[in-house]
Amino acid sequence: MNKEILKKAAGFCAYQERTHREVKERLDEWGVWGDEADEIVVWLIENNYLNEERFAKIFAGSKFRVKKWGRLKIRQELKMRGVSDYCLQMGMKEIDPDEYIQTLEDVLHKKRGEIKDTNPLVVKQKLLRYALSKGYEQDLIWDALGRIVL
């Protein structure tokens, strides 16, 4: 195993959480393939530089709290990054259901303040479309819209 590549890979993982796919892609860029790449990934996992469950938890929690993304968008992004179903489920557990509903309502209130239209149907349509684009579930959006004064 190439010590120089191992050191670079460890630094790559230490800088921020990564998925297995991201590490494999970076190793490909560095010209490391096959068994050698697999050995490096195994070493990174054994030495706790690479932990996909930890990545999923941090990713889901931060995208929800910082960017106010909904579960659908977070789940889709994790799948696109090649995260396993188990790790995806563990990541989604980072989102508290009560906090999720409150965040959805806060997002809708904030967006409502930005909409200049006074027609309630137009406002609802814009709010629905916005919340869907943030990755919230349609039934939860309708419930929240029912509680919000337009």
For residue 53, tell me if it sits in a domain. no
Which position has the token pair 């970076």? 26
Give yes or no: residues 107 and 141 share one domain: yes
pLDDT tens-digit series, residues 44-74: 999 999 999 999 999 999 999 999 999 999 9
Give yes or no: residues 105 and 127 share one domain: yes
Spell out a b/e string for 81-120, using b for 16 or more CB atoms within 10 Å of the CB, else e: bebeeebbebbbebbeeeebeebbbebbeebbeeeeeeee
Count of domains observed in the chain: 3
Position 2 scores a pLDDT of 87
Which position has the token pair 């050698």? 36
Rounded to whole angstroms, how far apart are CA atoms 1 and 8? Answer: 12
Closest by CA to 75, choosing from 66, 67, 65, 63, is 63
For residue 30, tell me if it sits in a domain. yes
| 19, 52 Cβ separation under 8 angstroms | yes
For residue 142, tell me if it sits in a domain. yes
Ramachandran angles phi, psi of 44, nearest 5°: -65, -40
For residue 51, tell me if it sits in a domain. no
For residue 86, tell me if it sits in a domain. yes
Cα 81 from chain centre:
9
For residue 52, tell me if it sits in a domain. no
Range of the domain at 102: 97-147
Structure tokens at 9: 């890979």
pLDDT tens-digit series, residues 68-114: 999 999 999 999 999 999 999 999 999 999 999 999 999 999 999 99
pTM for the full predicted model: 0.92
Which position has the token pair 């494999």? 24
